[in-house]
Each structure stands twice: as structure tokens, then as C-alpha cells.
Amino acid sequence: MAAAVKTENLTKTYKNIMKREPVNAVSNLNLEVNEGEIFGFLGPNGAGKTTTIKMLLGLVYPTSGNAWILDKPAGDIEVKQQISYLPETPYFYDYMSGSEVLQFYGRLFGMNETTIEKKSMELLKTVGLYQDRYKRLSDYSKGMLQRIGIAQALINDPKLLIFDEPTTGLDPIAHSEIRDLILRLRDEGKSIFLCSHQLSDVEMVCDRVAILNRGVMLKTGHLDDLLLAGHFEIQAEKLSADVLGKINGFATCVDSACDIVVIDVEDGDKVDQTVDLIRGCHGRILSINPKRRALEDLFVEIIREGNK
Amino acid sequence: MTTLTIARNTFGEAIRKKILLICLLVAMAMIAFAVSFASFTMREELTIIKSFGLGVIAIAGMFMAVILGINLIPQEMERKTIYTILSKPVRRYEFLLGKFFGALATILVSLAVMTVAFMLMVFFKNHYVVDFAMLKGIVMIFFQLLLLTAVALIFSVFTTPVVNFFMTSAVYIIGSLADVTESMSHGTDKNVLVRGFYMIVHYLTPQFANFFTQNPLIHGIVIKNEAVYYSWNILYAIVYSSILLIVAILVFERRDM
């Protein structure tokens, strides 16, 4: 599968003549986003996410390293026909109406007026702004601006979408609609590079993630691989005190506050050992599930470790 | 095509700027106000209306060119609109040229509006005869503003609007004193280095003074080789502005957004 985004030792260093130390906004970043996947690009404020996006879009020149978008050098004018970008808190010309904004961006893609008109109406309906299409942007709410931002990002039917905080300022209903839209776009075969602080959204939609801090990539991989920590959670009942004591000896955690005992054991032999012990004492196994961590917990742990 | 789209947008936004509309309205009011100079003889009155009108148009135009020019790029950066535009298949030079021509179109339309008001005033005071000679002055004002907008644009690529305001104004003032810098560069009583400095300043600074043709036009003074004089200065404004635009593009192409 071809890479939608690829970087090799991508580095951006800002030199400030007033300060002695140059600032490494991004250091030796190696990324690969596959076509057709939703890739979560995470990190705390100042981690270098926006600088990376700007380098991918050719807005900022890397100090060293390389970046490719859809197998062409980042910033290439031809590749920009096939990508789109929604910045965090998008700003548009507020004298325009929603419909005019889409016309303006459509023209920048060299689209003809008929296509722009057809596509605009379709997108305005998709993002729920059809009724407000002739309203000036100065009268739009923050959520409406975010939605027109999403619509402009879809005007060219892009192969790769770069979204920077796409759900900022949206109410819960719109939030959920945009999340569904992102999943629908992935199902249509588009690649999505998603930068977000909404970790619950990332957990729900992303296939893979990368966690960045202070310009350095700390972790990357499939979300399932990262969140399935190699632990299983076994729920059982009717366990004797003797068996409970034996399990306590090797389990990570045993919660036996009520009749149902929740046992946390590492993957592998310990699961079999626990099951054998429960069955041996005629206990009843209610469920065995791989234990999944919350992305937020993983994120906090990685960032804290990185800060040490 | 992309440049045209950006230019149309720049124009659409600029004509809605309150400060420019106020400037235009004040200029129009001042042109109309010139009729009140009725305490002079008819001939003197007409001369004053012409002089005052052309002066108001030149000053209002200069103000508009500076206000528009200094904000062209910094405003786009500040509002982050530049990010969504340059992430589309838009080359940086297309964006810069679009901004420049959009600003120029705004200046041209404003000049046209002021010119209509001015020509009507002159028409009524000149026994209903159109004084086409005045249009030469307007054309020269336009090319002076073309040059001034290009100066403001080049500074707007790498400075803030406030710094740009002072830099553009300084260049305009020095360029308007071209006769002074020229005489300083020839003065035999001065040090070679001082003369050299003034010579460099004289030839490097856009010579805005050459576009002040109001006096000969108003007083009917014939400019020697008039056609050559006008053509040469128009060509000078076009070539100088083109050079400034090329330098602005080269700087803009290399900078981080």
C-alpha cells in the first residue's frame, strides 16, 4: 500500500537571534501514514504538531529531512490538488457568505463554476449549513465556522485530509456528526491525518496514532496494539478463599469486594492457570476479556515518562 | 486564473474596509467643498479648485495605497487565512500578485470615483467645458500610487504594519524630495562620500517627485517633450514596480509561514 504521508528525519529548528539556544520544533520525525487509514497525530500543546503539518503543506520549510505526500514531495503544487487542510479554529473572509467561501476555494482548485455550485450545495447540506448558505460569515457562530471549514476542506474531493482539531467549538450533536463524517470519508477510501486533543474521538476513529512531545516522536503504532496492554480481565464467582489466595499470588490485581471477583492477569500461561484454578474449585467464569486501556491513560503516561 | 481569484477577493474585501470608505467620502466631500471658495475671481477660483482637487486626490490615494499595502500580507498571516489558501494549489507568487493587483484595483476604482467628482466640479466651474488635461495629472497620480503600493508590498512581506507604515512613508518622503537629493549629490562643496551617499539615495529611491505634474497642468505651463516625459515616467513606474514585485516574490518564496 502506498503511503499517504511519509517523513524521513524531518526536522525544523527555529533560530532566534535574541536567544542563544535554537529551538527544535520537530526533531528527526519518521512517520508513515497508509492510504485509506485515519491516523491520529497527538501531543500536548507545543509538541510540534502544527509545525509538522505546516511542513507537510509546504508552508514551512524543513531544516533537514524529507517529507512526501501521496508519493510526491511535500508542498508540490500537483499534490495540493489532492489534499485538503482544516486548520485549528479556521479563519475565513467574513464579508463572504458560506456559499461564497466554497466558491472562492473551489476556484483556487481551478474547478468550473457549475461543478463548484453543485459540489457547494451538496457540502452545505452535508455539514448542515444549507439554510444559512447566504448568511455572512461574520454572523456565523464558532461551530458554524468550523463546519464551513470542513466543507471547504472537502470541495476538491481530496485523497488526503489533514484535520487540525476538527471538532473544536462544536456542540455534542455536531461533534458526533463530524466524527461519523470522518469515518464515512475513511470508508470512501480517503486518508485522514487527524490532529486532536479529543482523545476519546481519536480512540473511536483512528486506526493508528503517533504521540509527539517537544518535537520528538515518543510512540507510534496501531491503536489496538498500544491499548491492549497484554492483560486479561477475568470475572468469576463462587471462588473458595483458598483459590483466591493462590490467584492473588500471581495476578496483577484481584478485586473481590462483592460476590463477583474481578481478576487482572497478564497474557499467556497465567490466564490458563487462573482458569484451571477456578474450574478446579467449581467456580464459575463469567467472562474473559482482553483488558484495554484508555488512550488518555496511555497518552498521559507516555508524555510524563518523556518529560522525565 | 488563481491570481485573478485572489485579486477579486482582495478587492472585495478592501472596498468594504471602513477606513478606506471614510477616506473616500472625506476626499469627495473636500472636492465638493472647493466650490465654497467663491471669494476669488472666476479664473482664480477655477485654479484653486483644480489645485485643491488634484491635491486631495493625490493625498487620499497615497493614504489608501499605504493603508492597503502595509496590511496585504501581515493581515493574512494574523488571521491565518493564508494557511487555507496556500494549502490549496496556489503558488506563492500567484498569491502575492493577486494581493497586489487586488489592492491596485481598489486604488484604481477609488481614484475613478474621486476623478468623476473632481471632473464634474471643474466642468461646472469651467463653463461646462471638460478639461481633459486634468486627466493627465490623475494618470500620473495613479502610476505614483502603483509604485507606492509596490513599496508597501515589499515591506509587508517581512515587517509588521506599523514598521511598514514608517518605512513606506520614509521612502515616499525621500522619493518626493528627489530634486533635493539630486542637488545634494552634485554639490561641489561636499565630501565625496556625502555626495556618493546622496547619489545612491537619489537613484535607489523611487522618484515620486517626477509624478507631481499638478502645477504645470493647473497653470498651463507646457512641459518640454510632454509625451516623452509622461511615457518615460509611466515606464519608470512599471519597471520599478516590477523589480520590487520580483524581489518581494523572492523573499516571500523563501519565508516560513
pLDDT band at B189 (very low <50, low <70, confident <90, very high): low
Locate the chain A residue with the closest alpha carbon to B254. A61
C-beta atoms of A77 and B257 within 8 A:
no
Q: Which residue has the higher pLDDT, A267 or B137?
A: B137
Global confidence as pTM: 0.86
Are A11 and A62 contacting, i.e. CB atoms less than 8 angstroms apart?
yes
Phi and psi for A292 in degrees, rounded to 5? -110, 130
Look-up of cell digits 482458569 = A275
**Helices within A11-108 (DSSP H only):** 49-56, 98-108
Give residue B42's pLDDT. 65
pLDDT in tens, A126-157: 888 999 999 999 999 888 888 899 999 999 99
Considering only alpha carbons, which residue of chain A is nearest residue B15?
A95
d(CA B33, CA B121): 10
Q: Do A248 and A85 form a contact (C-beta atoms < 8 A)?
A: no
Contact assignment for B89 to A107 by CB distance below 8 Å: no
Q: What are phi and psi of B72, to 5 degrees?
A: -50, -55
User: Which residues does chain B have within 8 Å of residue A95's beta carbon, measured at their own beta carbons?
Assistant: 12-13, 16
Per the CB < 8 Å rule, is B257 touching A91?
A: no
In the block, residue with C-alpha cell 466554497: A102
Of the residues A108, A109, A138, the best mutation for testing chain B's interface (the one with the most B CB atoms within 10 Å of its CB) is: A108
Residue A153: which of A89, A187, A105 has the closest Cα? A105
Which are the contacts of A43, defined by CB distance < 8 A and separation ≥ 6? A49, A211, A212, A213, A303
Please check whether residue B14 is in contact with residue B102, taking contact to mean a CB–CB distance below 8 angstroms. yes
| Share in percent of chain B as helix, strand, coil (round to 5) | 80, 0, 20
B10 — pLDDT class (breaks 50, 70, 90): very high
Cβ A105–B80 below 8 Å, yes or no? no
Average pLDDT over residues B153-173: 93
Please return the burial class of A112, using the count of CB atoms within 10 Å of its CB with bins 0-12, 13-18 and 19+: exposed
At A17 the three-state DSSP class reads: coil
Residues written for chain B: 257
pLDDT of B39 reads 61
Q: What is the pLDDT of residues B104-136, one digit of tens each?
A: 999 999 999 999 999 998 888 878 888 888 899
Query: For chain A, what is the mean pLDDT?
Result: 88
Please give the pLDDT value at position A15.
Answer: 84
d(CA A155, CA B89): 13
Report chain B residues whose CB lies below 8 A from the CB of A83: 87
Between CA B84 and CA B217 the distance in angstroms is 48
> Cα separation of B110 and B52, whole Å?
17
Degrees, nearest 5: CA angle B1-B2-B6: 120
Element (H, E) at A89: none
Stretch B243-251: mean pLDDT: 96
Q: Number of C-alpha atoms within 13 angstroms, CB side, residue B190?
A: 15
The shortest CB-CB distance from B83 to any of A87, A95, A105 is to A87
Inter-chain contact A108–B9, Cβ cutoff 8 Å? Answer: no
ipTM value: 0.85
A interface test, pick of B3, B16, B78, B83 with most A CB neighbours within 10 Å: B83
Q: What is the mean pLDDT of chain B?
A: 89
Measuring CA to CA, which residue among B1, B207, B192, B164 is closest to residue B67? B164
Residue-level pLDDT at A263: 84
Secondary structure element (H or E) that encloses residue B91, with its range: none
Whether the Cβ atoms of residue A90 and residue A146 lie closer than 8 Å to each other: yes
Domain spans in chain B, listed from the N-terminal domain onward: 2-176+212-254
- The minimal CB distance from A59 to the residues B12, B81, B257 is found for B257
Percent of chain B with pLDDT over 70: 96
Please indicate whether, in this complex, the C-beta atoms of B86 and A93 are within 8 angstroms of each other.
Answer: no
pLDDT tens digits for range A110-126: 999 999 999 999 999 98
Question: For A2-11, A188-197, A283-292, which range has the lowest pLDDT when averaged over its residues?
Answer: A283-292
Q: Are A82 and A117 in contact (CB under 8 A)?
A: no
pLDDT tens string B39-73: 666 667 788 888 889 999 999 999 999 999 999 89
pLDDT number for residue A251: 72
Task: Give the CA distances from residue B249 to residues A222, B153, B157, B164, B196, in Å, rounded to whole numbers and listed in that order.
Answer: 43, 10, 9, 17, 30
Residues 6+ apart with CB under 8 A from B83: A54, A57, A59, A85, A87, B257
Please give the span between the terminal C-alpha atoms of chain B, in angstroms, as a whole number. 23
Contacts of A57 in chain B (CB under 8 A): 83, 86-87
Whether residue A61 lies within 8 A of chain B, CB to CB, comes out as yes
Q: Pick from B5, B91, B256: which is nearest to A107 by CB?
A: B5
Nearest neighbour of B1 by CB, restricted to A58, A87, A110: A110
For residue B38, pLDDT beyond 60: no
Closest Cβ opposite residue A93 in set B1, B9, B87 = B9
**Confidence at residue B102, expressed as pLDDT on a 0 to 100 scale:** 96
pLDDT for position B41: 64
Bridge partners for A233 per DSSP: A264, A289
Query: CA of A67: how far to CAs of B87, B135, B147, in Å?
Result: 15, 55, 40
Convert A256-290 to b/e letters by CB count within 10 Å (16 or more is b): eeeeebbbbbeeeebbeebbebbeeeebeeeeeee
